Amino acid sequence: MTDFPNSDLLSLAAGLRRRDFSAAELCEAALAEISRREETLRACITVTADAARAAAKAADARLAAGDASPLCGIPFGLKDNICTAGIPTTCASRMLSGYIPPYSATAAERLCAAGAVLCAKCNMDEFSMGSSTENSAFYPTRNPRDPSRTPGGSSGGPAAAVAGGELPFALGSDTGGSIRQPAAFCGLVGMKPTYGTVSRHGLVAFASSLDQIGPLSRTVRDNAAVLAAISGPDGMDATAVRAFSLPEDTFCGDVRGLVIGLPRFAGCEVQPGVAACMDAAADRLSACGAHICEVQMPALTDALPAYYILSSAEASSNLARYDGVRYGLRADGADCYETLYSTTRSAFFGAEVRRRILLGTFSLSAGHREAFYLRAKQAAGRVRAAFHEAFSACDLLLSPTAPTVAFPLGETADPVAMYRGDLFTVPASLAGIPALSLPCGRADGLPVGAQLMAPEGGEGLLYRVAALLEEVCA
């Protein structure tokens, strides 16, 4: 059988169609890699071995009948905030320990309908609040490139599972960079689609106006194949209004004549090795015929504080349901509802979740809403306008995904310092535009991620440029 841990999705799909191996054999190989690597990586929360074997058997029947999608028989993982019927979904929180949803997320259903084989629910920062997967209530996940370092967050578990050879691809969720930053830290391709491209039905909400599901993969082509499978309108989510399909010229390798802007972000120090990789990536695109220019976007200065106010305000509202009565575990010993509420939430929410709920509640409270929440909304509007103006002159924007390479586990105790690492990723989230991270070199022996951003609906263009950059940076 092909070398499973180092094989990309489409190569495995071709092997299945040639009958080089069966979906059942591929499933067993994935489960074996998970078993072998988990003691070090801790990327998974729940391994769905029995269900995976049954799904692989069904995939083999479809393959034998010639009725199969490109993803049929391919093992995959899901971030553990994506609901799965009959399989625990914990959001890496004590609050949802043991919770088993009665339904599956639309994105998960679409993958399973295509014949893909769910093998694991993956670790994450609790309720997606974090940038290192150290905020999981269960255990931190380790970076396969250097186990002493974080894989990023909040989709660190899915990223580590794919980069570590446990699975060919996985789905994460991205609110302010939670797919793109782990992709950068682990040397993967990660896509945050245009808001409304992938249904949020069955995604446990963090900030509903920002959350999007997207794929993590080893190659650009794999990523595009997964996005095509999970995108599209959904009657269960009124915001899901667009579908992605691969244009015929997506991987033509031609970037001649494209204008690629380099936005300047004030107030952020970029590691010299990261800056060098970005300069090299821009030079390579220029050598291939793209026109590179600097873009002034002063509105981006306010993007980070605006994001943390808005996302925390929405989190405060979304997580209010976890009170020990309607949802979540219940603390013992309370003699009234107020005590039950405070005791339950103090006991079962982690420190970072409590911090963001408090920030969000404060921002929405009487006397502060105008000074914080409404000003943040106005700042977000300026960010969207800045991107609209930039894209009137440029086809794409190129920036680092993160200002540093993966940092050591336990190194960043200051939450504000951790938040600053999201400077490059949150603007695209506020604007609702697609953004993709892909490897563009190494610094200090660790992967560096380049972020490409496009106007709404520009995923095809992102994949086109990313595929060329993937080739010239290899």
Q: Enumerate domains of the chain plus CATH numbers.
A: 4-230 (3.90.1300.10)
Q: Which amino acid is at 236?
A: M
Residue 220 to residues 187, 338, 376, 445, 459: CA-CA distances in angstroms?
Answer: 12, 50, 34, 22, 11
CA angle 438, 444, 447 (to 5 degrees): 15
Residue 399 bridge partners (DSSP)? 451
Region of poorest pLDDT, from 387-391, 424-428, 465-469, 470-474: 470-474
* Cα(431)–Cα(429) distance, integer angstroms: 5
Higher pLDDT, 295 or 331: 295
Cα separations (Å) of 50 from 23, 55, 119, 211?
14, 9, 9, 31
Q: How much is the pLDDT for 372?
A: 94
Q: Mean per-residue pLDDT for 135-147? A: 98
Is 201 within 8 Å of 230 (Cβ atoms)? no
Mind listing the pLDDT tens digit for each residue in 55-101?
999 999 999 999 889 999 999 999 999 999 999 999 999 999 989 99
Q: Hunting for tokens 């920030």 — which residue is that?
A: 359
Say how far apart CA 206 and CA 11 lie, in whole Å: 35
What pLDDT score was predicted for residue 68?
82
pLDDT of residue 334: 67
In DSSP notation, 199-230 reads --TTBPPSSTTT-EEEEEESSHHHHHHHHHHH
Q: How buried is residue 21: exposed, middle or buried, by Cβ count under 10 Å (0-12/13-18/19+)?
A: middle
Question: Contact, 157 vs 79, CB < 8 A?
Answer: yes
| Catalytic residue, candidates 128, 178, 199, 231 | 178
Q: At residue 416, does pLDDT exceed 90?
A: no
End-to-end CA distance of the chain: 25
Q: Which residue has the tokens 């700042």?
A: 379
Contact 312, 352 (CB under 8 A): no
Of residues 35, 29, 12, 34, the one with CA closest to residue 160: 34
pTM for the model stands at: 0.97
Sheet holding 169-174, edge to edge: 44-47, 117-122, 75-79, 169-174, 212-217, 189-192, 435-443, 446-453, 396-400, 259-263, 291-295
At residue 11, the pLDDT reads 96
- What are the tokens at 34? 């998970």
Residue given tokens 């990523």 in the structure block: 223
Mean of pLDDT values over 113-142: 97
Pick the catalytic residue from 154, 173, 199, 437: 154
Q: How confident is the model over 360-367, as a mean pLDDT?
A: 92
365 is catalytic: no
Residue 145 has a CB neighbour count (10 Å cut-off) of 19
| % of the chain surpassing 90 pLDDT | 85
**How many CB atoms neighbour CB 85 within 10 A?**
15
Q: At what angle do helices 220-230 and 106-113 cross, to 10 degrees?
A: 110
- Helices 9-17/220-230 angle, 10° precision: 80
Mean predicted confidence (pLDDT) in 153-178? 98
Query: Which residue shows structure tokens 């609790």?
Result: 126
Using a 10 angstrom Cβ sphere, with 0-12 exposed, 13-18 middle and 19 or more buried, the burial of residue 90 is buried
Displacement of CA 454 from its chain's centroid (Å): 17
Percent of the chain whose pLDDT exceeds 70? 99
pLDDT tens-digit map of 249-271: 888 889 999 999 999 887 678 99
* 3-state secondary structure at position 134: coil
- pLDDT band for position 411 (cuts 50, 70, 90): confident
Which residue is it, tokens 């095809």?
460
Report the distance separating Cα 4 and Cα 437, nearest Å. 24
How far apart CA 356 and CA 343 sit, in angstroms, is 17
Q: Is 312 a catalytic residue?
A: no
Query: Which residue type sits at 458?
Result: G
Burial class (CB within 10 angstroms; exposed 0-12, middle 13-18, buried 19+) of 237? middle
Confirm whether 178 is a catalytic residue. Answer: yes
Average pLDDT over the chain reads 95
Q: Does residue 27 contact residue 56 with C-beta atoms inside 8 Å?
A: yes
For 288-374, where are the alpha helices, taking DSSP H only? 303-318, 337-348, 351-364
Q: Take residue 428 and report the two structure tokens written for it.
A: 């695209």
**pLDDT (0 to 100) of residue 1:** 62
Which of these is catalytic: 79, 136, 173, 311?
A: 79
- The whole-angstrom separation of Cα 292 and Cα 285 is 8
